[in-house]
């Protein structure tokens, strides 16, 4: 049985006797996974997809939540940079002159540094990334590789074998018309190279999905840090230089007064956290 049969249940339902659907959603800050199966959205005969969240806005809500916290935003960028490391490195020392020339041309035609840092960003925020490979005229070689930003990717409904046939790429923040949607054939994530060899040479563009394995494998993975938005505990480490700078700016030299200033700052932070919690409760 495919993993996709275990996707959580629907928050989008068809209204009887009409050509419309209704979406029932909850706050993204409270839940990341829908409590019901999400029905596919049909665009036309050739395109239908599984929305990302009941209102199809979940990735943008996730981005907003991350960017609203300066600590988490900085940490996520750091995580992406660590994932990037020293970047992609290649070595053609033992290759033939012909292969070396082909690699040089490929590197000139592809901004691999930007591509790789981009997919690292998607990995750390959404647990998956999407690359698009473009073949040459006779489909014998990959000549381009580009990143498709994960937040703009939507997966088509999986077939009976659990294989997703294609992705749709568009700016889903706004109302999208069919002509604004890019449909890209998706290679089987379990065996992309084998799948590529079986494809028609008339198709020159394919999407490749890379996922970080998660305990609950749905169409759109649940980020590991999602618990931060559900829980109420915060652990913040403050460097000693932070306080030293405050003491210097405010001219505090007495040790007792310095301690009082530290406690004053901590009390202010505690009040702020309680206010945030009370606001969340009132929103509910």
How would you write the pLDDT of the chain (284 residues) with one tens digit per residue? 333 333 333 334 444 555 544 443 334 333 355 545 678 899 998 999 999 988 899 899 889 888 888 888 888 999 999 999 988 888 999 999 999 999 999 999 999 999 999 999 999 999 999 999 999 999 999 999 999 999 999 999 988 888 899 999 999 998 889 999 999 999 998 899 999 999 999 999 999 999 988 776 678 988 878 776 665 555 556 666 777 888 888 999 988 888 888 888 766 655 555 555 555 555 55
Question: Distance between CA atoms of 116 and 124, rounded to whole angstroms?
Answer: 12
Sheet with strand 166-169: strands edge to edge: 153-155, 166-169, 182-185
Question: Distance between CA atoms of 20 and 15, rounded to whole angstroms?
Answer: 6
3-state secondary structure (DSSP) of residue 35: coil
**In this structure, what token pair is assigned to residue 120?**
């690292």
Q: Is the pTM of this model over 0.85?
A: no
Question: What's the distance, CA 208 to chain centroid?
Answer: 15
């Amino acid at each position: 049985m495919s993993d996709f049969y275990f996707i959580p249940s629907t928050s989008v339902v068809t209204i009887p006797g009409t050509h419309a659907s209704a979406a029932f959603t909850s706050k993204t800050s409270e839940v990341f996974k829908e409590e019901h199966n999400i029905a596919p959205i049909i665009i036309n005969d050739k395109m239908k997809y599984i929305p990302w969240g009941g209102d199809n806005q979940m990735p943008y809500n996730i981005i907003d939540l991350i960017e609203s916290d300066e600590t988490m935003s900085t940490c996520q960028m750091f995580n992406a940079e660590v994932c990037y490391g020293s970047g992609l490195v290649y070595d053609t020392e033992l290759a033939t002159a012909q292969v070396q020339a082909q690699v040089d041309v490929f590197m000139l035609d592809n901004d691999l540094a930007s591509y790789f840092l981009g997919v690292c960003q998607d990995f750390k925020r959404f647990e998956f990334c999407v690359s698009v490979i473009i073949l040459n005229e006779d489909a014998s070689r990959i000549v381009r590789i580009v990143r498709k930003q994960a937040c703009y990717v939507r997966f088509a409904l999986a077939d009976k074998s659990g294989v997703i046939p294609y992705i749709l790429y568009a700016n889903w923040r706004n109302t999208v018309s069919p002509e604004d949607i890019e449909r890209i054939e998706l290679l089987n994530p379990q065996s992309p190279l084998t799948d590529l060899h079986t494809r028609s040479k008339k198709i020159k563009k394919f999407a490749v999905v890379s996922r970080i394995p998660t305990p609950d494998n749905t169409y759109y993975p649940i980020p590991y840090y999602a618990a931060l938005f559900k829980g109420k505990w915060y652990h913040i480490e403050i460097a000693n230089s932070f306080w030293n700078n405050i003491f210097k700016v405010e001219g505090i030299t007495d040790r007792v007064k310095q301690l009082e200033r530290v406690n004053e700052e901590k009390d202010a932070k505690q009040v702020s956290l309680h206010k945030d919690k009370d606001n969340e409760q009132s929103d509910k």
